[in-house]
Amino acid sequence: MTLPILTEVRDEIGFITLNKPHILNAWDRPMRDLLVNSLETFEADPAIKAIILTGAGDRAFGAGQDLNETKTFDSKNAEDWIEEWRRLYGTIRSLTKPLVCALNGLAAGSAFQVTLLADLRVGHADVKMGQPEINSGLPTATGSWIMRELIGLSRTIDLTLTGRMVPADECLAMGLLSRIVPKEQVMDAAIALARELGEKAPIAMRLNKRRFQEMTEASFQETMSAASRIHSEAYGTGEPSMMMERFLKKTERKG
């Protein structure tokens, strides 16, 4: 049986790989639960100084939500779903160890959001990032908050309402990517960056990261409450389910 999350420890760095390349590493609840558990395990291990998160294959870091899981949601399902995201996002935000994302391909939707919650992001020239949720009938509640914190309201409105995928050079200019390197060097660059951060003074690192969390904690909690309300309303109309079914059928025809 293929595991949806792979973990490894090498040279004081914990590696986590999203491992569903056949569906562009799209995730469902069991996969997200494993991701949280892996992050918590590495956070608690004193031998690990930094964490790298990446995706399997060469097409995608992650496509975000597996629509086969959410296409039948109703309002109550949506509220429970948002609590799962509160747990995952809260876990990432509370890490005291540096988290570097190595983007081997596209990062879309909630996977895009996860990369933005990491400390730094390394990609290559063919990487695309974005928030295309509107194209499958989903409002963007958490994504709009995360983007606004990094790139400002004007750009957030652009990416949220158009749902466009942003090319790597524009991602770098916006601050969505921290570094661009040749494709074959992405992991090596991420390792070098993780090692550099892992060698910093650990108490100062922990206090800096805690302060970043404190600066945005009130708005994070407000965002998650708003997300529960917004997604409950959206799913209550039936529009997300209808558009997801349409999107999945279109994808099947292309396949």
Number of structural domains, the chain? 1
Asked if 28 and 69 touch (Cβ cutoff 8 Å), the reply is: yes
Q: Say if 69 falls within a structural domain.
A: yes
Give all strands of the β-sheet with 128-130 in edge-to-edge order.
60-62, 106-108, 128-130, 165-167
Q: Does residue 183 form part of some domain?
A: yes
Instruction: Kindly state whether residue 18 falls inside one of the protein's structural domains.
Output: yes
pLDDT for the residue 247: 76
169: in domain: yes
> Which residues lie below 8 Å from residue 60, measured CB to CB, with a gap of 6+?
21, 24, 25, 104, 105, 106, 107, 108, 111
Q: What is the residue-averaged pLDDT of the chain?
A: 95
Q: Does 120 reside within a domain?
A: yes
Distance between the two ends of the chain, CA-based, in angstroms? 24
pLDDT at residue number 210? 98
pLDDT tens digits along 156-185? 999 999 999 999 999 999 999 999 999 999
Residue 193 belongs to what H/E stretch? helix 186-198
Q: Which structural domain, as residue segments, surrounds residue 150?
A: 5-198
pLDDT class of 23 with cuts at 50, 70, 90: very high
pLDDT score recorded for residue 255: 56
Instruction: Classify residue 52: in a domain, yes or no.
Output: yes
pLDDT band per the 50, 70, 90 thresholds, residue 253: low
Residue 203 lies in a domain: no
Q: Check which CATH number belongs to the domain holding 67 and give it.
A: 3.90.226.10
Is residue 191 a part of any domain in this protein? Answer: yes
- Rounded Cα distance between 89 and 84, Å, is 9
Higher pLDDT, 136 or 11: 11
Query: pLDDT band for position 126 (50/70/90)?
Result: very high
